Amino acid sequence: MKPVRRRLVLHFPGFEALDAEAHRRRYERSARQSGPVYGLDIEVGALRTDGAPPFFDVVGRSDGAQTESRILVFAYDDLITRALRGSTLSRLLRGYGSAIGVVAEGGLGGYIRHGWRFALFFAYPFLLATLAILLCLALAALPMALGGSPWHGLWSAPLAAAVFQGILVPVSRRYHILHLFADWELAVAIARGRDPALVAWQAAARDALRRALAGDHDEIVVTSHSMGSSMAVLVLGGLLEADPAALAGRRVTFLTLGGAVLQSALLRSAHRLRGHVGRLAEAREVDWIEIQCLTDAVNFYRSRVVAAAGHRTSPAARIVLIRMKRMLTPEHYRRIRRDALRVHRQYVLGSDRRSSFDFSVLTAGPTPASDFVLQGDENDAAAASAGI
């Protein structure tokens, strides 16, 4: 196995309102945590904005070997911030509208078929928000239900509204309710592909990707986390659609970390996204590997992504199963395991213990990415041999 000297990493983050500098700082913190665990000294440079998208350079040193990685961050925080905008009422209305769209376009049925836990993840924020609304309506109607005059509504309705805004909305922040409403709003927009801002972002990212690929690198790795996997498929697939020879002579490892491509691809309107899934699966230059975890409720565990997107005769992506509790100390894992979104972010965070996966080491170390994720213990290696 020849060590990597120069690596290009094209990273598509998940649904978090973080700009490129925030992602760089997270990477630096994670590298400080993981590097000593793996015997790797990781030096993270400053963010540079003299190119598009912003990037930072990383140097990994181990046993006298040195690997230089350039990490481009294809952040879409402007789109996420826009989805998080507005009053509580407008966010609720947009979120419920997105939920109706998902159900009407067959998304929920697809989630049940291909990842029943993801179906629960979809239902979770809407069920809790509906329960909160019903409780407040019951509070407003309680005086009248007990035989009081309808005039009591003059004080009971404002009281119910105050309870909702002052108590239930802060509680919803703790459980990410309105954040997930916005997540589904953007997921539906990705499926439909008509949003002008999203289309413009894809075009700019596609041009940036083409320029980045022109450099000289030992290894090219596309990493995508959560919803970022859909964005990566749109951009990389769009590049191949515009120029089928764009990757000629190169080898690209495409890693989806807790990927949620099917979140949008299972909606009937997602014709373009599904087409790009097939395009990437068919590309000889692309080695597609899905990193999945049983305890992560926000990914399609053991899903057959390519087949589920309608390409049953296309080459399958490989699947690698990881265990997050092996990455962390028992105390650390106990602290996070009940927070679904925190567990979901662990794919791109630092490790306390050696295991078969670590994002910082994968992108900064000398081992080729595909070899690193496939060299886990015997159980993980057996799981990795399963096709999607």
Provide the b/e sequence for 338-349 (b: ≥16 CB within 10 Å).
eebbebbbbbbb
Cα gap 285→290, rounded to integer Å: 16
The pLDDT tens digits of the residues spanning 235-290 come to: 999 999 999 999 998 999 999 999 999 999 999 999 999 999 999 999 999 999 99
Residue 384 predicted with pLDDT over 50: no
Token pair 């170390």 is at which residue?
A: 365
Residue 102 predicted with pLDDT over 80: yes
Cα gap 145→128, rounded to integer Å: 24
The pLDDT tens digits of the residues spanning 119-139 come to: 999 999 999 889 888 888 777
Once rounded to an integer, what is the mean pLDDT over residues 153-173?
A: 75
The pLDDT tens digits of the residues spanning 43-80 come to: 999 999 987 799 999 999 988 889 999 999 999 999 99
As to burial, measured by CB atoms within 10 angstroms (0-12 exposed, 13-18 middle, 19+ buried), residue 206 is buried
- pLDDT reported for residue 385: 44
The pLDDT tens digits of the residues spanning 288-335 come to: 999 999 889 898 999 989 999 999 999 989 999 999 999 999 999 999
Residues 6+ apart with CB under 8 A from 269: 105, 191, 192, 193
- pLDDT reported for residue 165: 74
DSSP state string for 334-380: HHHTT-HHHHHHGGGS--SS--S--HHHHHHSSS-HHHHHH-S-HHH
Nearest CA-CA partner of 306 in 315, 298, 297: 315
DSSP state string for 4-60: PSEEEEEEE--S----HHHHHHHHHHHHHHHHHHTT-EEEE---B-SSSS-EEEEEE
Residues 6+ apart with CB under 8 A from 226: 14, 15, 257, 258, 259, 260, 298, 299, 344
Once rounded to an integer, what is the mean pLDDT over residues 4-22?
A: 96
Cut 0.85: pTM above it:
yes
Confidence of residue 376 (pLDDT cuts 50, 70, 90): low
Judge contact between 114 and 300, C-beta under 8 A: yes
Ramachandran angles phi, psi of 28, nearest 5°? -65, -45
The residue type found at 9 is: V
The residue type found at 293 is: C
Domain ranges for the chain, please list them.
6-78+195-384, 84-184
Once rounded to an integer, what is the mean pLDDT over residues 362-387?
A: 68
Report DSSP state, residue 387: B
Q: What percent of the chain lies above the pLDDT cut of 70?
A: 96
Number of Cβ within a 10 Å radius of residue 304: 19
25: region left, alpha or beta (phi > 0 left; psi from -120 to 50 alpha)? alpha
Nearest CA-CA partner of 187 in 229, 219, 224, 152: 229
More confident residue, 380 or 113: 113
Judge contact between 278 and 334, C-beta under 8 A: no
The number of angstroms, rounded, from the C-alpha of 290 to the middle of its chain's C-alpha atoms is: 12
Cα gap 19→1, rounded to integer Å: 36
Residues 6+ apart with CB under 8 A from 107: 101, 122, 191, 263, 266, 267
The residue type found at 294 is: L
Q: Which CATH class is domain 6-78+195-384?
A: alpha beta
- H helices present in 289-339, as ranges: 305-308, 330-336
- pLDDT reported for residue 142: 75
